[in-house]
């Protein structure tokens, strides 16, 4: 057994363990090793350590310690610098910073920083008992291995890339064969201006005091420039500037289709999850929101069918807010009936969202402890409302959301305009007083948010200027997509509230060679909720292991 195991993985005893061999690694000869303990040790070893390995004695592995730095690591420049490898359970990570032009049309002008995190499977350590000895094993991580690169583009816009805490889900599956690059970014996956990339936060944006200058600055943070950043990073990071695989979730998928349109030579293959954007030039933001509102109505109907008791509870909250003229929020903003409807942005379109909303509504009111005391909405409920919105930490989402649909035309607060024609369904006060279900809204940004959400107030003028901007450059090249040669596989979620199914299918018909997986097994958050299943299915489709339908 021990000879076989030594052939499968290098045996490395830590110096401290070797020095204490007699005292620490030897068990009393008279003490038999319990079979259950031996079996557990073997399972740990066969399973690669897993979460339990974090509690074991970790031996030094070849990729760690004072190894010789690679040529790439020595070639740090003003345009690219990197940190040292570090680890979380079962993953090795390294940070990269790239200095890129704010405007690629003027490369000698202003610069910004874009942050990327490199992720590989890390060292695995385990132990087993053979006879009277405890033997430590360590399998080197993949830090020094030659692996193909996969760029992950996050959803958004305006949300940073995932912060790995362990090897799990889609990331673990991807790291089995790829060197994964997570860019900060947006939940538009990675977007410049989020996370550790020159961060556009509520406080940092206050440095630009002119609304005109702020609007002009923000126009450089759409998908076209994200693709420019990706190409800059690929050339500086990937050996020989080889093409890489791109995984685009939600808005990250929009960015990946822009990538296919304008820089396909940088792509080996593309995986899309809930991220096929509307690409026709004549498909305006109005068309998008009109289609999205139809799905939002459907999701509301499903919610109240699941929780019919919430009709009365939510009606009571809406009437209370209406009669009070709004209720102050902990951060200084104001909760109004139309603000309450925005809970649908998170609740109606993601896994477990219905349940989370229901349990939040359950705790809306403070208990009456003294007879005759007035009724109040609870601090718990008001704080939970603000935590769901996240506009205070990710303002780019509010500022740029409608612009992601704009090509040569202004949005002119499109969602607000379309909602205005649906007041019979979306007037919260009228619905509450008539005893009808109050419908929540979806992934929409409205101009009044910049009055009611305290942290957005100083950005209102810039947001209005962006909504009137007409000269947005094209984001897609339909001709190039018609002639696409890059392998593409896409998961299309039938009941996706954020990316309309019909518009996605229209786009798919224009991308040559695309392979579709159409499913209602997952909602928009399928990549996160499905573990390795979604990415495994898409890779299987491209490699012939899954049906192509």
How much is the pLDDT for 390?
A: 79
How much is the pLDDT for 117?
A: 95
CA-wise closest residue to 223 among 171, 169, 154, 281: 154
Task: Please provide the DSSP assignment of 472-521 as one string.
Answer: PPP---HHHHHT--S-EEEEEETT-SSS-HHHHHHHHTTSTT-EEEEESS
Could you tell me the pTM of the whole model? Answer: 0.82
Which residues are annotated as catalytic?
250, 471, 524
Q: Cβ(373)–Cβ(326) under 8 Å?
A: no
CA distances from 17 to 2, 20, 22, 48, 365 (A): 18, 5, 9, 20, 59
How much is the pLDDT for 186?
A: 35
* DSSP-assigned beta bridge partners for residue 80: 98
Give the single-character DSSP code of 546. Answer: S
CATH of 77-279+475-543, one of 3.30.310.50, 1.10.3720.10, 3.40.50.1820, 3.30.420.40: 3.40.50.1820
How much is the pLDDT for 205?
A: 84
Gyration radius from the chain CA atoms: 27
95 phi and psi angles, rounded to 5 deg: -95, 145
3-state SS string for 211-257: HHHHHHHHCCCCHHHHHHHHHHHHHHHCHHHCCEEEEEEEHHHHHHH
**CB environment 508-540: b (16+ within 10 A), e (fewer):** bebbeebbbbeeeebbbbbbbbbebbbbbbbbe
Give the single-character DSSP code of 294. Answer: H
Q: Cβ(349)–Cβ(498) under 8 Å?
A: yes
423 phi and psi angles, rounded to 5 deg: -60, -25
How much is the pLDDT for 203?
A: 80
How much is the pLDDT for 384?
A: 95
CA distances from 73 to 67, 93, 144, 178, 184 (A): 12, 14, 11, 19, 21
Residues of the chain with CATH 3.40.50.1820: 77-279+475-543
| Cα distance between residue 91 and residue 123, in whole Å | 7
Q: Cβ(323)–Cβ(316) under 8 Å?
A: no
How much is the pLDDT for 363?
A: 96
| Cα distance between residue 404 and residue 411, in whole Å | 10
Kindly give the confidence (pLDDT) of every residue in the chain, 549 residues in length, as a single tens digit, with 9 standing for 90 and above.
434 333 333 333 333 333 333 333 333 444 444 444 444 454 454 444 443 333 323 223 333 333 344 444 444 667 899 999 999 999 999 999 999 998 898 888 888 888 999 999 988 766 677 777 777 766 778 889 999 999 999 887 766 778 888 889 999 999 999 999 998 753 223 344 555 445 577 888 888 889 999 999 888 888 999 999 999 999 999 999 999 999 999 999 999 999 999 999 999 999 999 999 999 888 889 999 999 999 999 999 999 999 999 999 999 999 999 999 999 999 999 999 999 999 999 999 988 999 999 999 999 999 999 998 999 999 999 999 999 987 877 888 899 999 999 999 999 999 999 999 998 899 999 999 999 999 999 999 999 999 999 999 999 999 999 999 999 999 999 999 999 999 999 999 999 999 999 999 999 999 999 999 999 999 998 999 988 999 999 999 999 876 655
Beta strand 179-183 with 149-153 is parallel
Q: Cβ(490)–Cβ(272) under 8 Å?
A: yes
| Cα distance between residue 272 and residue 276, in whole Å | 7
CA-wise closest residue to 100 among 209, 191, 19: 191
CA-wise closest residue to 283 among 419, 420, 405: 405
């Amino acid at each position: 057994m021990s000879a076989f195991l030594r052939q499968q993985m290098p045996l490395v005893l830590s110096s401290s363990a070797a020095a204490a061999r007699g005292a620490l690694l030897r068990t009393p000869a008279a003490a038999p090793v319990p079979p259950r303990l031996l079996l557990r040790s073997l399972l740990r070893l066969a399973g690669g350590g897993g979460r339990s390995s974090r509690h074991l004695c970790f031996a030094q592995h070849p990729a760690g310690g004072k190894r010789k730095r690679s040529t790439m690591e020595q070639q740090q420049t003003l345009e690219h610098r990197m940190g040292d490898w570090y680890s979380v359970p079962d993953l090795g990570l390294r940070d990269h910073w790239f200095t890129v032009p704010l405007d690629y049309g003027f490369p000698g002008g202003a610069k910004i920083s874009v942050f990327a995190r490199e992720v590989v499977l890390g060292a695995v350590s385990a132990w087993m008992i053979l006879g009277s000895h405890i033997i430590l094993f360590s399998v080197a991580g993949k830090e020094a291995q030659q692996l193909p690169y996969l760029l992950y583009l996050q959803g958004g816009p305006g949300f940073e890339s995932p912060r790995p805490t362990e090897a799990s889900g889609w990331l673990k599956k991807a790291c089995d064969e790829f060197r994964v690059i997570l860019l900060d970014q947006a939940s538009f996956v990675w977007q410049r201006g989020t996370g550790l990339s020159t961060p556009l936060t509520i406080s940092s944006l206050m440095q630009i005091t002119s609304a005109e200058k702020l609007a002009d600055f923000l126009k450089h943070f759409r998908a076209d420039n994200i693709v420019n950043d990706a190409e800059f990073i690929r050339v500086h990071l990937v050996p020989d500037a080889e093409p890489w695989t791109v995984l685009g979730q939600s808005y990250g998928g929009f960015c990946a289709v822009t990538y296919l349109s304008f820089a396909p030579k940088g792509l080996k293959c593309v995986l899309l999850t809930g991220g096929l954007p509307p690409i026709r030039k004549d498909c305006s933001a109005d068309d998008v929101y009109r289609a999205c509102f139809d799905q939002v109505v459907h999701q509301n109907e499903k919610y109240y069918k699941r929780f019919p008791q919430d009709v009365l509870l939510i009606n009571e909250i809406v009437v209370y807010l209406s009669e009070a003229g709004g209720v102050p929020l902990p951060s200084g903003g104001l909760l109004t009936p139309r603000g309450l409807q925005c809970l649908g942005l998170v609740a109606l379109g993601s896994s477990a969202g219905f349940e989370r909303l229901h349990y939040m509504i359950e705790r809306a009111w403070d208990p009456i402890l003294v007879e005759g005391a007035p009724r109040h909405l609870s601090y718990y409920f008001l704080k939970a409302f603000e935590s769901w919105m996240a506009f205070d930490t990710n303002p780019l989402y509010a500022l740029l959301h409608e612009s992601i649909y704009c090509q040569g035309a202004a949005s002119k607060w499109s969602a607000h305009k379309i909602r205005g024609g649906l007041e019979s369904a979306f007037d919260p006060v009228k619905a509450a007083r008539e005893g009808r279900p109050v419908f929540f809204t979806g992934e929409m940004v409205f101009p009044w948010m910049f009055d009611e959400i305290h942290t957005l107030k100083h950005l209102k003028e810039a947001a209005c200027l962006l909504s009137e901007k007409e000269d947005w450059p094209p984001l897609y090249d339909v001709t190039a997509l018609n002639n696409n040669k890059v392998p593409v596989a896409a998961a299309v979620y039938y009941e996706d509230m954020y990316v309309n199914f019909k518009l996605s299918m229209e786009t798919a018909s224009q991308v040559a060679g695309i392979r579709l997986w159409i499913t209602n097994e997952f909602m928009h958050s399928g990549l996160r909720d499905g573990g390795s299943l979604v990415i495994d299915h898409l890779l299987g489709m491209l490699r012939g292991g899954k049906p192509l339908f």
